[in-house]
């Protein structure tokens, strides 16, 4: 009986956290662009800019929260590595598939960034649209 009660509490707490994260993402997107598709991010570097707009169809707040977590993990890994420092790179995620877009220094850096994204736990695929100059 006690284990069932603990499991229920854990499940309720997990759902509550996922709902808060998912709800927070909804609020941020609504404030950023009302009437826009479900997800968007942008970054810029002087005269260069990157805009990513994707339409996502989630079945639950937990799915949305999972994608948000993967975006955070990939961005953190890229920042730790430094491959995207001072370059406009946007990261998006749809059901575990990461989308990288923007500009980096070289083709080698673009490939390296894709490899970093693919290595993140939970990532199911990477669409690497990074360009270089």
Sorted by where each begins, the domain ranges of the chain are: 2-132
How confident is the model at residue 133, as a pLDDT?
86
Could you write out the DSSP letters of every residue in 69-133? HHHHHHHHHHHHHTTTTTS-EEEEEETTEEEEEEEES-HHHHHHHHHHHHHSTT--EEEEEEEE-
CB 130 within 8 A of CB 90: no
How confident is the model at residue 55, as a pLDDT?
80
Terminal Cα-to-Cα distance of the chain (whole angstroms)? 63
pLDDT one-digit tens code per residue, 64-77:
999 999 999 999 99
pLDDT one-digit tens code per residue, 88-117:
999 999 999 999 999 999 999 999 999 999
Q: Give CA–CA dist 127/123, Å, rounded.
A: 11
Residues 6 or more apart from 90 whose CB is under 8 A from it?
41, 42, 43, 50, 51, 52, 99, 100, 101, 102
Q: Between the CA of residue 40 and those of 36, 87, 121, 124, 126, what are the distances in Å?
A: 8, 18, 23, 20, 17
């Amino acid at each position: 009986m006690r284990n069932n009660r603990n499991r229920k509490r854990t499940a309720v707490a997990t759902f509550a956290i996922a709902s808060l994260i998912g709800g927070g993402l909804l609020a941020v997107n609504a404030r950023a662009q009302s009437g826009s598709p479900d997800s968007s991010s942008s970054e810029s570097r002087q005269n260069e800019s990157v805009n990513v707009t994707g339409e996502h169809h989630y079945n639950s707040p937990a799915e949305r929260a999972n994608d948000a977590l993967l975006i955070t993990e990939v961005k953190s890994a890229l920042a730790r590595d430094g491959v995207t420092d001072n370059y406009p790179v946007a990261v998006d995620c749809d059901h575990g598939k990461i989308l990288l877009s923007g500009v980096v220094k070289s083709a080698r850096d673009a490939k390296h960034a894709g490899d970093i994204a693919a290595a993140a736990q939970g990532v199911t695929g990477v669409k690497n649209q990074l360009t270089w100059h």
